A and B are shown apart, each in its own frame.
Chain A
Amino acid sequence: MIVARIQPPAEMVHWWFATGFLVLGLLLLAEAVVGEEVWARRPWRRYLWPGFVFAMGILMFPVMTFFTSSTIHMVAHGTWAQVMLFAGGAELAVARGKLHSPRWRLCSAAALAVSGVAFLVHEQNDWLFSRAAFLHHVLGWTVLVCAVFPLVQAFRPRSTAAALGFAATFLVVAVLLYCDRDTAPIFGHLSYEAGVPHR
């Protein structure tokens, strides 16, 4: 009861994660523009985005605990937490030099694919049920389709197009998450079952 009173609305958590994805997108975009060699000239910079993904994975666990209202919702958030730890951990190991093969980028591809499926499976409502439902569908398909970028990078690590696409994926995810509201219409549609727009 006390936690429910002091915890922020769920939409704000989406905006905070949107900010995290915005940071990720900018880091990846800068790396894609200057190239991996220049990016890696300062050792700490190699750890930036993998570390950020890993930290966001850890932060997703409290979201899973405090902000989910159904089992499938909780499982989806738990899945995102785990795949972010998985992808972030693999990329950290590559940055550290413990792992060498570019094929480890397949972990990021798998993370995006699983995340997309989790979005689509756990959203039980139609596209135009509410803004949140619409965004879940768009996010799910976006993330699922964009898994092709790290997939290409695993086999063609110097592909600039794939690197730019990978970066753009996170920028698009950030924009979509910033659009989230707890109960809001989408294109003028809001199911009466969704509740009353509260703001």
Chain B
Amino acid sequence: MSADIAHSLERNRDAADAATRQRVRRARIVLALGPLTALAGVVWAVLQPWRITLLHPSGQGFWWLVSEPPLYVVLVGVLFRLALAPGIVADLLDEEEGEP
């Protein structure tokens, strides 16, 4: 094998490794979006517990018991992580393997 071909193969491998690292980083970001959102909701609930009326339901009307904004944020984060993120990451990694 000539030195030129060897260098070319090495460059290609380095480029492929860099692309793989980038995809893995992107996959981690997508997988983290849901938990980070849910964590934001939990932190909000701890900082402003009065916004969760379920913690002190006495005397609250129907709408105040339904409206729990920090729990909405947690719910969105959990649903994103469970329903969307796995498929997105699978497609991202499929692309890496060259599948259509």
Which A residues are closer than 8 A to B by beta carbons?
A: 8-9, 12, 15-16, 18-19, 22-23, 26-27, 29-30, 33-34, 37-39, 41-42, 45, 178
* Residues of chain A within 8 A of B87, CB atoms compared: 42, 45
Partner of A38, one of B34, B72, B91: B91
A160 to chain B, nearest CB (A): 11
CB distance from B11 to the nearest CB of A (A): 23
Contact B91 A42 (CB under 8 A): yes
Q: Of B1-9, B13-21, B25-33, which binds chain A?
A: B25-33
Q: Is the CB of A15 within 8 A of B72?
A: yes
The answer for the CA separation of A37 and B72 in the assembled complex, in Å, is 30
Chain A residue with Cβ nearest B67: A12
A15 with B95, Cβ < 8 A, contacts A22-B37, A30-B30, A33-B29 known: no
Residues of B within 8 A of A23 (CB): 76, 80
Flag if B33 contacts A41 (CB, 8 Å). no
Q: Which residue of B lies closest to A39 (CB)?
A: B88
The answer to whether B37 and A30 touch across the interface, beta carbons within 8 angstroms, is no
Residue of A nearest to B93 (CB): A38
Once the chains bind, are B69 and A18 in contact (CB under 8 Å)? yes
